[in-house]
């Protein structure tokens, strides 16, 4: 079983960031390139509204989330649509995950055994959301080639786990544009088979920096099964107050 334990792009997306110094690299050091790309997303804080669509061959469902993120380790989001689920919230802090349901009026902390489960029936696992950047800590990176996308240079990066690092993905592949926008992330198992991949598209300027507004996570062997994130609203901030990322705010959100 794969317990995805990687820096997730969803969080990165949610955690979108203030701008990293735009030192457009010439021949980039792969480690620095990946770190810079992650910093580009991570930044300090953001507020966003995201529509998440889970698509299955015979089934589709959408919901809208409102999310606050700060740094890479803190985020909180609430379902605002559909009305039936309104008020359900999730708090992520230091790799841990709590969820609140207004109907039973209780906060539940997810046990570690549940972290590999899919989140809300999507193609993202709880770990995808909660685990911080093991890609930066537990992997070594190399640039394997370059492409061109819309007149910009794109680096192909292959990331392999460091010896004895506690990871599950046997390999990850990234496509990082020279302005640090991540275009694609691929997740491989220990046999180097592609498990799932996330593609970014619809890159638009947000607060002055280009940001992909659509993310699609797709299982490798299932063309017709994916989870799509559409950013409806995205704002980058210098910081957000501590009290946002607390259990009491999860329970009684200030909205």
Partner 1 sequence: MSMDYRMAWRNIWRNPRRSILTICAIVFACALLVFMLSMQFGSYYSMIDFSVRIHTGYMQVQAKGYQKEHNIYQVVPQPERVARILSSNPEVRAFTYRANAFSLVSSRQRTYGALVIGIEPDRETQVSTLKSLVRKGEYLAPGDGTRALVGDLLARNLKVDVGDELVVLGQGRDGSVAATVLTVKGIFSSGQEDFDRSTVNIPLDTFQQVYSMDDAVHEVVVMGRNLRDMAGLKREIAASVEQLPDGRSLVVLDWMELMPGLIQGIKIDMMSGVIFYLFLVVVVAFSILNTFVMAILERTREFGVMMALGTSPGRLIRVLLMESMTMTAIGILCGIGAGVVVTWYFQIHGIALSGADDILKQFGIPDRIYPRLSVWSIAIGPAAVFIITFFTALFPALRVRRLRPIAALGHV
- Per CB under 8 A, residues contacting partner 1 are 54, 56, 58-59, 61, 63, 79, 82, 84-85, 88, 99, 101, 103-104, 106, 108-111, 113-114, 117, 120-121
Task: Specify which residues 92 forms β-bridges with.
Answer: 75, 97
Question: Where does residue 53 rank: exposed (0-12), middle (13-18), buried (19+ CB within 10 A)?
Answer: middle
Outline where the chain has alpha helix (H): 9-14, 30-42, 126-130, 134-138, 247-251
d(CA 88, CA 74): 17
In whole angstroms, how close is the CB of 108 to partner 1 at the nearest point? 5
Task: Give residues with Cβ within 8 angstroms of 97, minimum separation 6.
Answer: 90, 91, 109, 110, 115, 126, 129, 130
User: Minimum distance between the CB of residue 8 and partner 1, rounded to whole angstroms?
Assistant: 20
Of 103 and 243, the one with the shorter C-beta distance to partner 1 is 103
CB of 85 to partner 1, least distance (A): 5
User: CA nearest 74: which of 250, 230, 251?
Assistant: 250
Q: How far apart are CA 192 and CA 246, in angstroms?
A: 39
Question: For partner 1, which is the closer residue by CB, 47 or 107?
Answer: 107
∠ CA 25-30-33 to the nearest 5 degrees? 50
Smallest gap from Cβ 7 to partner 1, in A, equals 24
Smallest separation (angstroms) from partner 1 to the CB of 25: 43
Indicate the residue among 15 and 126 with the shorter CB distance to partner 1.
126
Q: Taking Cα atoms as reference points, which of 229, 236, 205 lies closest to residue 69?
A: 236
Please identify, using beta-carbon distances, which residue of 26 and 252 lies nearer to partner 1: 252
Q: Considering the complex, state which of residue 85 and residue 179 has its C-beta at the smaller distance from partner 1.
A: 85
Q: How far apart are CA 173 and CA 227, in angstroms?
A: 19
CB of 129 to partner 1, least distance (A): 15
Distance in Å from the first CA to the final CA of the chain: 38
- At closest approach, how far in Å is the CB of 120 from partner 1? 7
> At 150, phi and psi to the nearest 5?
50, 45
**Closer Cβ to partner 1, 85 or 189, answer by number:** 85
* 110 versus 143: smaller Cβ distance to partner 1: 110
């Amino acid at each position: 079983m794969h317990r995805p334990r990687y820096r997730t792009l969803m969080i990165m997306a949610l955690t979108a960031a203030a701008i990293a110094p735009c030192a457009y690299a010439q021949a980039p050091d792969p480690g620095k390139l990946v770190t810079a790309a992650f910093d580009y997303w991570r930044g300090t804080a953001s507020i966003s509204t995201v529509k998440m669509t889970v698509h299955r061959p015979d089934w589709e469902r959408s919901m809208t989330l409102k999310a606050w993120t700060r740094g890479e380790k803190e985020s909180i989001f609430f379902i605002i649509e559909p009305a039936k689920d309104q008020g359900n919230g999730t708090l992520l802090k230091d790799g841990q995950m709590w969820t609140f349901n207004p109907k039973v009026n209780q906060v539940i902390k997810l046990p570690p055994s549940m972290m590999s489960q899919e989140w809300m029936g999507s193609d993202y696992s709880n770990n995808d959301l909660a685990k911080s950047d093991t890609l930066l800590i537990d992997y070594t990176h190399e640039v394997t080639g370059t492409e061109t996308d819309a007149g910009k240079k794109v680096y192909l990066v292959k990331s392999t786990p460091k010896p004895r690092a506690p990871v599950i993905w046997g390999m990850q592949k990234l496509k990082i544009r020279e302005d640090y926008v991540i275009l694609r992330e691929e997740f491989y198992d220990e046999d180097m088979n592609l498990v799932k991949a996330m593609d970014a598209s619809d890159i638009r300027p947000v607060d002055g920096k280009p940001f992909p507004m659509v993310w699609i996570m797709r299982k490798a062997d299932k063309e017709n099964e994916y989870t799509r994130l559409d950013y409806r609203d995205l704002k980058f901030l210098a910081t957000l107050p501590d009290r946002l990322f607390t259990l009491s705010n999860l329970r009684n959100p200030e909205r």
